Structure 1
Amino acid sequence: MLILLNTYPLLVSEDLVFRSKETTLQSSVSVMVYSLSGLDRLTEENVAAAMAVVEETGLSRILVTDDAGRVLYDTRETGSAVGEYSFYTEIVQALLGNDAFTSNYSNGAFRSRASSPVLYQNQIIGAVYAYEYDRSQGALLEGLQANLLRLSAIIGAAVLCLSMVLSRALTRKMALLLTAIRQVREGAYSHRAQIKGHDEIAQIGQEFNSLTDRLQTTENARRRFVSDASHELKTPLAAIRLLTDSILQTDNIDRATAREFVSDIGAEAERLSRITEDLLRLTRLDSGVLETPTVVDVLPVLKQVLRMMILVAQEKEIDLTYRAAEGCTVLATKDEIHQIIYNLTDNAVKYSPPHSSVQVTLAREGEQVVLTVEDNGAGIPEEDLPRIFERFYRVDKARSRAAGGTGLGLSIVSDTVKRRGGTVEAGNRPGGGAVFTVRWPWRKEGESL
């Protein structure tokens, strides 16, 4: 931009001066040609007489030649060329019948030359040549150039200062962002990039902080999950080890006691197996490895699960009933539907006291399929409702372990439902007990995916 500022105005100004010189110089030459046009032949005497009546033009030099190029008139007092032959390019062009003009600018001055032929009855009898040396226009152009240079220097200094300020600001912000990235890379997920402003780097810093928040949340969840999983796995393993040590360290252990210990070992091993299966199922859900869904009718799966769960409920003297409507089809897999219904029903039966009831309802409400599981148990404390679907979270840890729960069933239900576009909610019944509600988008049977 500075180069353009220092060249374009000068070139335009030079071009304007050249055009002005051509107009004025050609006009002056035309006046002189007109004063000579009445002569049939040019001589030194009649040319001098004719030029005497021409007004002073301020030109540096005027030459008049005959048709052979011999100088008949010269305004230069010192070193006059009268009587000599002149073959300036402009004079040669004029003697050939052409008007000629040239001009150039150098060393702070404009040098302009113009010539025209002198005609008598359409015959060329001579030529008029004019030369102008103009320093005043050159001085104006030099002044313009000097002003442009000063202006360019001011602009350049301002741009340099502004660039330094912006560069330092950007460098400082980039340094803060890089420091934050290194801190997070080293595992300091609580570190945040403190970048002020509203520019792009500040926006990147905000996005980085949002990403770090998610990383910290994920890392906290991972650590809590690993800790809880380790604790849950360690409990049955410790029980198995304790029971085996008891068998090994007890001399002459009777058969009934040994069978009891082995039975307890089998129960703990079964519990360990359930925890492992639930962990694997959650890992598959987290990795997004899901089977291809189809349109599944929920009712046959519900009947299959309840036929099995009714036997479990009868052992606890719990009345397990259901109400179900036809046409409740959703986009999922049969195994997923089975797992959801089983976990919710099993959870309700486990935590319901004897001689109570569990009600399962399946219905279609508009464009949704709704599954409701209600029990008459102790319910869920209000402060625990927001965390009920967290992994390994238990309202009553001692009671949950005694019931054989792993703390993962509701998490599996929540993740499975959400990955198929549904929702699951937990709440308390007005008359006591808990209620779980699952909602899926209804899909028409036979509908293409």
Structure 2
Amino acid sequence: MRQKINRRFTGIALFSVVITTIVMTAVFYSQLKKQVFSDLAVVADLLIDEGSYARKTDNLRITWIDADGKVLFDSTVDGQSLANHLDRPEIAEAVSSGSGMGIRKSDTLSESVFYYAKKLDNGQILRVGRETHSVVAVLLSALPMVLTTALVLAAICLMVSHYLTSAIVEPINKMAGDMEHIDEGKSYPELIPFTRKIRLQHEEILSAANIRQEFTANVSHELKTPLAAISGYAELMEAGLVNDKEMKRFSGEIRKSAARLLTLINDIIKLSQLDAGNAKDILDVVNLAEITKESVEMLVFGAAKNGIDVVYEGDDRADVHIGKELAQELVYNLIENAVRYNKPNGRVIVKVQKEGTQIIFSVEDTGIGIPLEHQERIFERFYRVDKSRSKELGGTGLGLAIVKHICNLTDADVNLMSKPGVGTKIFIVWGRGST
């Protein structure tokens, strides 16, 4: 970028110098031409005042012409050999208006000449001319100064271009090298929104990388536990160190670990799909109330074994743009959590309500509750308030993370209210649900 900016600045600068030189030369020539005609007019007036027209000078051509166009005298050639001059532009102009000027190639001298002609009181014409080479000589004498000035200007422009390029690029390079303070640069206030956006994206990338790294480490740890249990029990059984009485218990432990492993893998796959954004393809308007009642029916019998009562309250129809698969995942996860972490003979109340243009889904339990210091992190992956209890109850630590992902994907707000020993209420609000 530095070279590109420098080349453009240099090109603009050199172009400006060339144009300036041409304009200066043109202006100088124009002023010189005016000065030449002015000088010729002064000479003509002096000759008229002296009344002496037939004289020769080194740098001037003096022509004295009769009123009928006949050349009476010419300081350069024999006037008798010259043709009638009434058709000359400067002569014709002098006859009509009293004076005339012109620059043209002389047939007699075979070169361009500046002419000034003035009409006398008796109708005759006095013409004074100066050959172009004398004017060009003045231009050539000034040319070295013009070229020197142009070269100096070009050199200055090159240095200024280099300086400006560095001044423009250096703050940007500093910002690129110090992403932590990218929005503290004062060089370009106009770039502050842009730099803040870059810093935000940089922080998001770092955050995502940290989350991915942490997630990978947690996945490895979580998978290792059931695999180690399965491997340990299998080794004992293979070595014949398990009697018939213990065989059934060991087989049951292997089955539990395998089930936990399968559940964990399924949750990881779901999270990966949500991270990749693939779930957006299955978004559709569904009746959330109907899906919720189906999930309650599936979980009510299992909950009843622990004396937990699961009931549904609310509307019979509440349409949400979420898709059937995601709706089932969200509803089932929250109700299952409320049952899993409830107290014996507890209660779970599930509601779907319509309030204006909003659809509100809530799950309230009378369970163990969540301490205040853990409530902000409860939706993080693999985060558990009580790790030993969670694993004992079969939790993977990913259920609420999946719920949070689904809410983000479907533009829903998720909120939590909980008190240890009293219970927990989680409610999700869709603001653009259709009724």
Shorter-chain TM-score category? Answer: 0.7 to 0.9
In structure 2, distance between residues paired with 1:433 and 1:439: 20
Among candidates 300, 318, 321, match of residue 311 of structure 2 = 321
In structure 1, distance between residues paired with 2:86 and 2:37: 18
Aligned to 2:159: 161
In structure 1, distance between residues paired with 2:362 and 2:391: 25
The 3 A distance-change label for structure 1 pair 440 and 207 is: closer
Runs of at least 5 residues in structure 2 that lack an aligned partner in the other structure: 1-15, 94-99, 105-111
SS at 2:395's partner residue? Answer: coil
SS at 1:393's partner residue? Answer: coil
SS at 1:164's partner residue? Answer: helix
Aligned to 2:410: 420
Determine whether 1:364 maps to 2:354: yes
The 3 A distance-change label for structure 1 pair 95 and 239 is: closer
Runs of at least 5 residues in structure 1 that lack an aligned partner in the other structure: 36-48, 105-109, 181-189
In structure 1, distance between residues paired with 2:50 and 2:157: 62
The CA deviation at 1:68 is 10
The CA deviation at 1:392 is 0.9
Determine whether 1:226 maps to 2:211: no
TM-score, normalised to structure 2, is: 0.76
Q: Deviations over 1:119-162 (max 9, x none)?
A: 99xxxx98643224799999997898788667656644443332
Aligned to 1:112: 114
Contact 1:69–1:85, Cα closer than 8 Å, also in 2:
no
Q: Deviations over 1:334-358 (max 9, x none)?
A: 2222211111111011111112222
Aligned to 1:72: 72
**Number of aligned residue pairs:** 404
The 3 A distance-change label for structure 1 pair 335 and 118 is: same
Q: Percent identity?
A: 26
Paired residue type of 2:342: S
Max Rg structure? 1
In structure 2, distance between residues paired with 1:113 and 1:362: 104
Aligned to 1:238: 228
The CA deviation at 1:228 is 0.5
In structure 2, distance between residues paired with 1:228 and 1:327: 40
Contact 1:363–1:370, Cα closer than 8 Å, also in 2:
yes
After superposition, residues 175-186 of structure 1 pair within 5 angstroms as: none
Paired residue type of 1:11: A
Determine whether 1:297 maps to 2:294: no
The CA deviation at 1:427 is 2.1
Determine whether 1:267 maps to 2:265: no
Aligned to 1:184: none
Determine whether 1:349 maps to 2:364: no
My pick for the range that moved more, 92-101 or 345-354, is 92-101
In structure 2, distance between residues paired with 1:203 and 1:151: 44
Contact 1:328–1:442, Cα closer than 8 Å, also in 2:
no
The 3 A distance-change label for structure 1 pair 142 and 205 is: farther
Could you say what the CA RMSD is over the residues aligned between the two structures, in angstroms? 4.5
TM-score, normalised to structure 1, is: 0.74
Aligned to 1:276: 265
After superposition, residues 3-402 of structure 1 pair within 5 angstroms as: 3-18=18-33, 51-52=51-52, 60-65=60-65, 72-73=72-73, 84-86=80-82, 91=85, 93-94=87-88, 98-99=92-93, 101-103=101-103, 112-115=114-117, 128-132=126-130, 152=150, 155-170=153-168, 172=170, 196-199=185-188, 208-251=198-241, 253-254=243-244, 256-290=245-279, 291-402=281-392
My pick for the range that moved more, 243-252 or 200-209, is 200-209
Contact 1:91–1:115, Cα closer than 8 Å, also in 2:
no
